[in-house]
Amino acid sequence: MMDIRLKNRPIEISKSDIKSLPEEEKIIVCARCLFPVTDPSKQMAVKGSFSHIFANPHGHVFEIGCFSDADGCISASPKSDEFSWFLGFEWQIGICKNCAGHLGWIFTSRDERFYGLILEKIIFP
Ligand SMILES: [Zn+2]
């Protein structure tokens, strides 16, 4: 239990630590670096569903979950409407603010915006 090595690495919260947090502090973190990305209260349904499965033009299949906000996810590309999975929305690649790992996409329309985060790239509390 007294593991000194962990003391200087505050970002490495273990999954069990997150589970023990009180309800209001529950967070969803980056699966790669455990940086806080969003929280469960930001989950939302888009076109009737929280999760969606899509394939990109290269044949990679992604299961994404929709969030109204994700402070830990930043855009890493210009907006594009090529092959958009959501009609009327442009997308940008979304990466982790901390480790720059790919987390998903940020979808923007004229008056709406949401985050589609790849479910295997994030860890739920
Ligand atoms: Zn990360």
We find that the CATH architecture of domain 5-123 is Beta Complex (2.170)
pLDDT of residue 8: 47
Residues of the chain with pLDDT under 50: 1-10, 13
Expressed in angstroms and rounded, the spacing between residue 52 Cα and the centre of ligand 1 is 22
pLDDT in tens, 54-78: 998 889 999 999 999 999 999 999 9
Give residue 123 CA to ligand 1 midpoint distance, Å. 11
Measured in Å, residue 110 CA sits from the centre of ligand 1 at 29
Q: What is the pTM of this model?
A: 0.79
Write out the residues surrounding ion ligand 1, Cβ under 5 A: 30, 32-33, 35, 96, 98-99, 101
What pLDDT does residue 29 have?
Answer: 97
**From edge to edge, which strands make up the β-sheet containing 36-38?**
36-38, 28-30, 122-123
| pLDDT tens digits along 45-54 | 999 999 999 9
What was the pLDDT predicted at 69?
Answer: 97
Separation of alpha carbons 51 and 47, rounded Å: 10
| Residue 93, strand partner residues | 105
Q: Output the CA torsion 106→26→15→21 (10° steps).
A: 160
**Is the Cβ–Cβ distance between 79 and 113 less than 8 Å?**
no
For position 25, what pLDDT does the model report?
73
The full set of domain ranges for the chain reads: 5-123
29 CA distance to ligand 1 middle (Å): 8
Question: What's the burial of 109, exposed, middle or buried (CB within 10 Å: 0-12/13-18/19+)?
Answer: middle
pLDDT, residue 19, reads: 52
Q: Is 5 helix (H, G, I), strand (E, B) or coil?
A: helix
φ, ψ for residue 20, nearest 5 deg:
-85, -5
Q: How far is the CA of 27 from the centre of ligand 1 (A)?
A: 14
